Each structure stands twice: as C-alpha cells, then as structure tokens.
Amino acid sequence: MDHIIAGRFQTRTMADVAAATIFGYVTHGDICIFHNNPPGQHGSLVNDGDRDVNPGADESLESAGTTALAAGLTAGAIGMVGGPVTALAAAGVAAYGGSLIGALGGAGEQQTSRAVPHLRPAGVILAVRIVRPTSKQRVVSDLRNSGAEDIEQAEGEWLNGDWIDYNPEKEVNLVSTP
C-alpha cells in the first residue's frame, strides 16, 4: 500500500496550478488528477446510485402507514354512526388531513434525529503518492496554499500514475490543520 495525500478543488484549473507547483519535487507518475462525482452519483449499484434505499425512506413509509391506519379507524368509527356515504366522505377528509399532518409533523425530524456521515463532496481531486516521507508536509502545505479543500490522507494502491483503489464512498480521513 502507498501513502497518498489528496486535496479537493473546485476547478480543474486550480488543481493544475497546484500540480505544477508539486511537480517541482514529485515525479509526474506520482500525481493523479480526476473528478469525483457528488454523493449518490457514483454508479456503484445497478441503478447507477450508491445506495439500495433512499436515506429516510424507512421513516417516510412508517409515517405513511401510521397515518393511513389512523385515517381508516376514524372513517370506520364515523361510518358506524353516520352510514356508508358519511364513512367514505370521512375517509377522504381523514386521509388528506392525515397525510398533511404526517408530512408537516415529520418535516424537521430527519435533519435533527439522524447523524449524516461525512461524504466526499464533488470536485476535482489532486492525489499525490508520497514516496519520500519528507515530502508529505510540503505536499499538504502546497495543496492548502493552492486552495484545496478537504485535504486527506489515505493508504491505497497506486499503479502507473493512478490511484486505482480510490473509493468515493469511503469516509474522508482529513489531515489535521497545523
């Protein structure tokens, strides 16, 4: 495994400028520039996404089921008193009102109740294989001075100038700020 330092840039031009600086002391075969797609668009599954289920889908299904059950029970109770026509009308009103309440009631829950893992944002990645340990801090400094965001360190497989086992879904191991 090779030690790799990588920084994310907003544009290819910014990454190229940083690479030009780093080429002064690192060989061309030890630098790789590529684009990272936004989270959810990495095509790792058959449906071209990253996940089998949309985050939050379980909670939405649970909320919808609870709302439907409550609407059905309410309509049944009204139907016993007012007859079948009244029951149908009550079912419609209860279903609409229940769905509205369910949607509004759960609107803020997902943002506060679940921790979201730090996913790699989209951008241009400049990765540098660290062959000499003495160049690590200089690479980090040059990436930072060139405007890189999310400077990370990783262990990976480097072959013919490419970081071949890069995993866009893996949590980022950020380099600490000096």
Q: What are the tens digits of pLDDT across the range 21-42? A: 999 999 999 999 999 999 876 5
Q: What is the pLDDT of residue 136?
A: 96
- Both tokens of 84, joined, read 């079948």
Task: Please give the residue that has the higher pLDDT: either 102 or 57.
Answer: 102
Cα gap 170→118, rounded to integer Å: 9
**Helical residues (DSSP H) of 6-135, grouped into ranges:** 12-22, 57-82, 84-105, 109-113
The percent of residues above 70 in pLDDT, for the chain, comes to 60
Cα gap 68→66, rounded to integer Å: 6
pTM (two decimals) = 0.60
- Both tokens of 52, joined, read 């089998």
Cα gap 78→84, rounded to integer Å: 9
- Both tokens of 5, joined, read 């330092």
Q: How many CA atoms lie within 13 A of 134 on its CB side?
A: 1
Cα gap 129→36, rounded to integer Å: 18
